[in-house]
């Protein structure tokens, strides 16, 4: 049997990333492909400033907290459902760089759209835009309002389809 390439999903604990995970889960079920859920964090971000003096902000505590957030998100989004194999990983680094690197072996890279708009993305430099330019597989950006279980949109939401880049 030929192994199918995974759908890689970048998550950060936000509602947008939960929506992306649910969409990817449904797509992986249709394809019969595994899902690789990836949360990227910066350990060096907690190593600076006066907050370093708080023991609960030590890198290993923050890593444990992020791991709990990640596993809770996966459980909340896909737990208890039969479906594709799910791999969960927490990685230290730059989100766009790590996701682009992992896209080399992926069938799709799936990200959530926070709906901040083009101006905010241009000014802030969104992870999704950086991934679209660097990824080595197709990128799906799942907008607000998408109902992955039915392939439609939530009642009252803007009718926008996922964007494939």
Q: Does pLDDT of 151 surpass 60? A: no
Rounded Cα distance, 44 and 102, in Å:
21
User: Sorting pLDDT into bands at 50, 70 and 90, what band is 155?
Assistant: very low
Minimal CA–CA distance to 165: which of 134, 138, 135, 144? 138
Do residues 70 and 90 touch, judged by C-beta distance below 8 A? yes
Do residues 43 and 92 touch, judged by C-beta distance below 8 A? yes
Read off the pLDDT of residues 106-146 as tens digits, 9 standing for 90 and up: 999 999 987 655 555 554 348 888 888 899 999 999 988 77
Rounded Cα distance, 94 and 84, in Å:
27
| Site of tokens 């208890």 | 80
Q: Does pLDDT of 153 surpass 60? A: no
User: Sorting pLDDT into bands at 50, 70 and 90, what band is 38?
Assistant: very high
Report the pLDDT value the prediction gives residue 123, as an integer from 0 to 100.
Answer: 41
Report the pLDDT value the prediction gives residue 137, as an integer from 0 to 100.
Answer: 95
Domains of the chain in start order, with CATH, are 7-164 (3.40.50.620)
Overall average pLDDT of the 52-59 stretch: 59
């Amino acid at each position: 049997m030929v192994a199918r390439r995974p759908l890689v999903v970048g998550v950060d604990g936000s509602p947008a990333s939960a929506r992306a995970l649910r969409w990817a889960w449904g797509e992986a079920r249709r394809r019969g492909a595994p899902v690789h859920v990836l949360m990227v964090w910066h350990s060096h971000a907690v190593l600076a400033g006066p907050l370093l003096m708080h023991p609960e902000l030590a890198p290993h505590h923050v890593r444990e907290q992020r791991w709990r957030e990640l596993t809770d998100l996966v459980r909340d989004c896909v737990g208890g459902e039969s479906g594709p194999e799910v791999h969960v990983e927490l990685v230290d680094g730059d989100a766009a760089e790590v996701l682009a690197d992992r896209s080399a072996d992926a069938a799709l890279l799936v990200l959530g759209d926070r709906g901040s708009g083009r101006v905010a993305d241009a000014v802030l430099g969104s992870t999704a835009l950086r991934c679209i330019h660097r990824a080595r597989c197709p990128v799906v950006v799942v907008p607000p309002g998408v109902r992955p279980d039915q392939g439609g949109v939530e009642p009252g939401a803007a009718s926008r389809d996922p964007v494939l880049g």
